[in-house]
Amino acid sequence: MTQTPRTTPTRKPRTADDAPAISIRNLSKSFGTNEVLKDISLEVGTGEVVCVIGPSGSGKSTLLRCVDMLEIPTSGTVFVGADEMTHPDVDLDRVRRRIGMVFQSFNLFPHLTVMQNLSIAQTKVLRRGKSEAQQVARRNLERVGMGHKENDFPAQLSGGQQQRVAIARSLAMDPELMLFDEPTSALDPELVGEVLAVMKSLAAEGMTMMIVTHEMAFAREVAHRVVFMDGGYIVEEGPPAEVIGDPKEARTKSFLHRVLNPLVIEPDELTDEGVRDYT
Ligand SMILES: Nc1ncnc2c1ncn2[C@@H]1O[C@H](COP(=O)(O)OP(=O)(O)OP(=O)(O)O)[C@@H](O)[C@H]1O
Ligand SMILES: [Mg+2]
């Protein structure tokens, strides 16, 4: 097997008075009696790429959604830059404008063209004029290799292309940081690479990113830090070479073994919901 050289993404130098891009302190979240996040503390620095990995139901999406208050934490604090998202007086709309969010499902407006999908929030939320919005849209479509598709409707695009458009739509809002929740899990395997390539180039540009992913090779190559969650806890975190390459905790080892050897599943690992497909 040939080894491709690893590229380390650049990271903007931090100054002493820089607030972390995201600061999560003693965060807990319950749905009824089900406590799904338990005393989570995590910082993401400016320009840092943090990949969150872990089994299904471990709380990864909930954690990500607590960052922009799509889920309201039960206790604890969340800061985005200097703004406390958990403060009762925070202007959530204003802070959320600085955050790009990309989900597994692309959520493009089906009745709008690619260009219209990229322009609408710019004109309505950022109050940009039409021609400026189109200029910004084109620049960001080029960035994700979709410049030639601005007049297409989402249904005319492959899943990978739709996800790249969704990323460009987020980028057109000039976010300071991006949150990704399994952006490639809904894609056919041959389309995963093109979306990961876009995310890799964003990392190289110094974008701050928190990424929930099952793509271990990607996390290993692109993340500055990997966080392994299980049962609502952060079990282990550190550089990818440690957490993925040489995990210390038994739960991390067993998760990685299952992810990296998806065919080696014992019958007692089957649940009512089946076994997650990590391939
Ligand atoms: N809106 C909700 N209401 C009630 N329970 C929820 C809600 N959202 C999530 N949960 C529960 O919280 C737990 C954590 O869910 P979460 O979606 O954060 O896990 P995950 O790690 O993202 O899993 P997956 O890898 O399958 O996406 C699960 O037990 C889930 O059933
Ligand atoms: Mg999830």
Rg (CA), the chain: 19
For 89-105, letters b (16+ CB in 10 Å) and e give ebeeeebbbbbbbbbbe
Tracing tokens 């004109």 back to the chain, one arrives at 123
Q: Which of 34, 36, 230 to probe ligand 1 with, by most ligand atoms within 8 A of CB?
A: 36
Both structure tokens of 150: 């601005």
* Ligand 1 site, residue 59, Cβ cutoff 6 A: yes
Residue with the larger pLDDT of the pair 178 and 258: 178
* Ligand 1 site, residue 209, Cβ cutoff 6 A: no
pLDDT tens digits, one per residue of 49-91: 999 999 999 999 999 999 999 999 999 999 999 999 999 999 9
Distance, CA 13 to ligand 2 centroid (Å)? Answer: 31
pLDDT tens digits, one per residue of 197-241: 999 999 999 999 999 999 999 999 999 999 999 999 999 999 999
* Ligand 1 site, residue 36, Cβ cutoff 6 A: yes
pTM, 2 dp? 0.89
Q: Is 91 in contact with 156 (CB distance < 8 Å)?
A: no
* Ligand 1 site, residue 56, Cβ cutoff 6 A: yes
Q: Which ligand sits nearest to residue 214's alpha carbon?
A: 1
* Ligand 1 site, residue 76, Cβ cutoff 6 A: no
Q: Is 235 in contact with 228 (CB distance < 8 Å)?
A: yes
Which residue puts its alpha carbon closest to atom 31 of ligand 1? 57
Q: Is 273 in contact with 255 (CB distance < 8 Å)?
A: no
Q: Write the single-letter amino acid at 127.
A: R
For residue 50, the cross-strand partners are 210, 225
pLDDT tens digits, one per residue of 118-154: 999 999 999 999 999 999 999 999 999 999 999 999 9
Which residues lie closer than 8 Å to 64 by C-beta, 6 or more apart? 52, 179, 181, 210, 212
